[in-house]
Structure 1
Amino acid sequence: MIKATPLPQTYFTNIAGIGLKAEHRRKLVSLELIDVTEKPITLALTDDGWRRAAEELGAETPKSAGSAGGTLYVALDFLRRLIDHSGVRADDLFRLQINGGDVISALAAAPSTVTDPPAGQEADPAILVRRAYQELAAKPGDYVMLSDLRSALDDLSRTEVDAALIRLNRERDVHLVPESNQKVLRPEERAAAVSIGNQDKHLLAISS
């Protein structure tokens, strides 16, 4: 809910430090709170999941929450009061992003298509990456292998693609993740990885 976008399993384990085992995923799926896709394993809230998560914003602190949990529920209570005061829906609130001190809607900020640069001006490699992704992905949010992306960007050097990917990784709608099952990677897929934060990333998804 906080990220307002489908997230790969590796985000929970490698970045958030949250253990989410298969039985946990199956339980959430059986309750129709999340949808799960494979290769890589990706989790997304359903409409019921959004409603259930929003309900938790106003919940009392569980007795077994502990110090960290108690702190979390104080913050959740603040978010609930913020939502009630502003009249903004929870899903709209969490789709906000902060750029240069201005709060803008992530949905409004991200164009649905990538436009061409002015005549005589070379396209930004980051724009070319977005354009190549659009051509490779069946729909926004699908993961594509960086090896396929680099093949589609053969006019750019590896250094240019790496720099564009590292810059794009800071943007809210861009998700670079490692392949969760390293054994299935082919040599060319390993070679195409970009290293970010001392971790090789093999897959790219752009949700806008």
Structure 2
Amino acid sequence: MSVTAGELTGTERAVLLVLMAASRPVPNRELAVRGPALDKTGRDKLNRLGLIESERVGSRFVHELTDRGWRLCRELIDAGPPPRSTGPAKTLYTVLGALGRYLDGAGLSLADVFGASDGSPVRTEDRIRAVYARLAARPGGWVPLTMLRAELDAPRAEVDAALAVLHRTPGVSVIPQEDQKLLTPEDRDAAVIIGDRPKHLIAIED
């Protein structure tokens, strides 16, 4: 499906730019702090157009740019402000235009600027993998999320979002404990809600 910048509202454009700048999954509440809130209509539209992927984690949605979304962000940088833009919006697109000229002149992509680099903080997904490797008896062995969370110094929402991303990654499984009698209150509290079920265990094959 071909999508152009002209098909998006100013709010929808701004949501894509915030996700581009964050370059990671962003929960609804954080999105509203960094830019405009994303309502159901906008969320459904951006997902339908293939520009973002939204996943329910617990009681909130977490959003991430797709490859198509990244490509459209590059188009947005050169597109100029939407019709009837206010002064602040025009200023934003003036700055974005300068960024576009810099990218063209330096032969860089958006990922080169906003993606992870050697000097950037380690992604939470990578921290989870590192902690898992320390805790698991063997690759692919099950580790309770209770133990995993205890080793991670990160906000719960950030860990939940990273677990949701890993859940979609080949070689990673995040599953419920089938024997509910084995669960302690701590296990239940540490569960991550992905889809409509609490999940308590993680396994990473490599």
TM superposition score category, shorter chain reference: 0.5 to 0.7
Equivalent in the alignment of 1:82: 102
Equivalent in the alignment of 1:3: 22
Equivalent in the alignment of 1:175: 158
Deviation at 1:177, TM superposition (A): 7.6
Unpaired runs of 5+ residues, structure 1, are: 98-103, 115-126, 137-143, 154-160, 179-186, 193-208
Report whether the alignment pairs 1:45 with 2:28: no
- Asked if 1 retains the 8 angstrom alpha-carbon contact of 2:77 and 2:96, the reply is yes
Q: Equivalents in 1 of 2:36, 2:125: separation in Å?
A: 34
Q: Select the residue among 41, 48, 53 that pairs with 1:23.
A: 41
Q: Equivalents in 1 of 2:22, 2:125: separation in Å?
A: 22
Deviation at 1:61, TM superposition (A): 2.1
Q: Equivalents in 2 of 1:65, 1:105: separation in Å?
A: 36
Secondary structure of 2:53's partner?
Answer: strand
- CA 1:91–1:46 in 2, change beyond 3 Å: closer, same or farther? same
Q: Equivalents in 1 of 2:145, 2:54: separation in Å?
A: 19
Q: Deviations over 1:113-137 (max 9, x none)?
A: 98xxxxxxxxxxxx8x87436679x
Q: Equivalents in 2 of 1:25, 1:56: separation in Å?
A: 18
Q: Equivalents in 2 of 1:43, 1:89: separation in Å?
A: 22
Secondary structure of 1:61's partner?
Answer: coil
Equivalences for residues 116-155 of structure 1 within 5 A: 131-132=130-131, 149-150=149-150, 153=151
Q: Equivalents in 1 of 2:133, 2:89: separation in Å?
A: 40
Length-normalised TM-score, structure 2: 0.52
- CA 1:135–1:25 in 2, change beyond 3 Å: closer, same or farther? farther
Residue correspondences, number: 138
> Aligned partner of 1:50: which letter?
W
Deviation at 1:73, TM superposition (A): 0.4
Report whether the alignment pairs 1:35 with 2:35: no
Q: Deviations over 1:88-118 (max 9, x none)?
A: 1112221156xxxxxx564xx859998xxxx
Deviation at 1:147, TM superposition (A): 8.2
Percent same amino acid at aligned positions?
A: 26
Equivalent in the alignment of 2:176: none
Deviation at 1:60, TM superposition (A): 2.1
Report whether the alignment pairs 1:62 with 2:82: yes
Unpaired runs of 5+ residues, structure 2, are: 1-19, 136-143, 162-184, 191-206
- Asked if 2 retains the 8 angstrom alpha-carbon contact of 1:95 and 1:105, the reply is no
| Structure in which a larger fraction of residues adopt helix | 2
Equivalent in the alignment of 2:114: 94
Q: CA RMSD in A?
A: 4.0
- Asked if 2 retains the 8 angstrom alpha-carbon contact of 1:35 and 1:43, the reply is yes
- CA 1:146–1:44 in 2, change beyond 3 Å: closer, same or farther? farther
Length-normalised TM-score, structure 1: 0.52
Q: Equivalents in 2 of 1:8, 1:47: separation in Å?
A: 19
- CA 1:132–1:21 in 2, change beyond 3 Å: closer, same or farther? same
Q: Equivalents in 2 of 1:56, 1:113: separation in Å?
A: 28
